């Protein structure tokens, strides 16, 4: 079983990955942050280092996916290869922080990789407002993130929503982070676990609302927005 967690910077992906791995006793695959040789330079000069950073992330996530296929392990993965290709790289290109030449080269590489990629059995999308993202980024206090602008987060959020609205690679669970305090509230985390169990076992618990986070029934993609009452 391969569960992947998607979401903007500061949405809580790493925390949820750790909590779910502990609950299910599965392996966790974290995003390559601490060992990323380009991350600090990128936030100081995005235009200079955008291509290098995105290639590093693309390669590291591809390696993770190949390892999942080889090992057959049950894993929780922090962020997906699709977010690199459909959100972060296009956003950098649109903002003029990645040249068209570099972006086209990057996307050709992704297209070649995608032929060997198996999508996750379940994608969990952490939906959060920019205000929540800013607060959580501030609370975790990573020095290299202090230069992230609100406009940058807003642009990423817009791309995330567009991507999730068209996601068709498998089962999808949408969590409203603004109304769910899973890092500190066991009941909220339990609602997420119930939603996951409903998706992977085909069961529907009585307290899991079958909506897509906007109050609309999610019939085609079987989304479940887990919200705190």
Instruction: Name the CA radius of gyration of the chain, rounded.
Output: 17
The C-alpha atoms of residue 214 and residue 176 are separated, in whole angstroms, by 10
Burial class (CB in 10 A: 0-12, 13-18, 19+), 18: middle
Tokens of 227: 């919200």
Instruction: Indicate if 78 belongs to the active site.
Output: yes
SS3 track for 84-148: HHHHHHHHHHHCCCCCHHHHHHHHHHHHHHHCCCCCCCEEEEEECCHHHHHHHHHHHCCHHHCCC
Strand partners, 172: 123
Planar angle of CA 70, 71, 75, nearest 5 degrees: 120
Catalytic pick from 27, 41, 45, 78? 78
What are φ and ψ of residue 53, in 5° steps?
Answer: -65, -45
Catalytic residues: 78
């Amino acid at each position: 079983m391969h569960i992947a967690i998607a979401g903007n910077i500061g949405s809580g992906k790493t925390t949820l990955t750790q909590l779910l791995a502990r609950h299910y006793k599965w392996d966790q695959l974290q995003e390559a942050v601490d060992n990323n040789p380009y991350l600090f330079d990128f936030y100081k000069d995005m235009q200079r280092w955008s291509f290098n950073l995105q290639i590093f992330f693309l390669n590291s996530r591809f390696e993770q996916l190949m390892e999942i296929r080889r090992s057959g392990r049950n894993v929780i993965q922090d962020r997906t290869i699709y977010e690199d290709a459909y959100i972060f790289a296009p956003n950098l290109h649109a903002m003029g922080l990645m040249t068209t030449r570099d972006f086209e080269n990057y996307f050709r590489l992704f297209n070649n990789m995608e032929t060997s990629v198996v999508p996750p059995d379940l994608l969990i999308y952490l939906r959060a407002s920019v205000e929540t993202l800013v607060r959580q980024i501030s609370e975790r206090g990573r020095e290299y993130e202090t230069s992230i602008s609100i406009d940058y987060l807003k642009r990423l959020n817009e791309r995330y929503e567009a991507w999730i609205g068209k996601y068709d690679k498998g089962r999808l669970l949408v969590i409203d982070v603004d109304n769910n305090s899973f890092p500190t509230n066991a009941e909220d985390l339990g609602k997420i676990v119930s939603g996951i169990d409903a998706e992977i076992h085909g069961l529907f618990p009585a307290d899991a609302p079958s909506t897509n986070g906007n109050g609309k029934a999610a019939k085609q993609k079987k989304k479940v927005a887990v919200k705190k009452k």
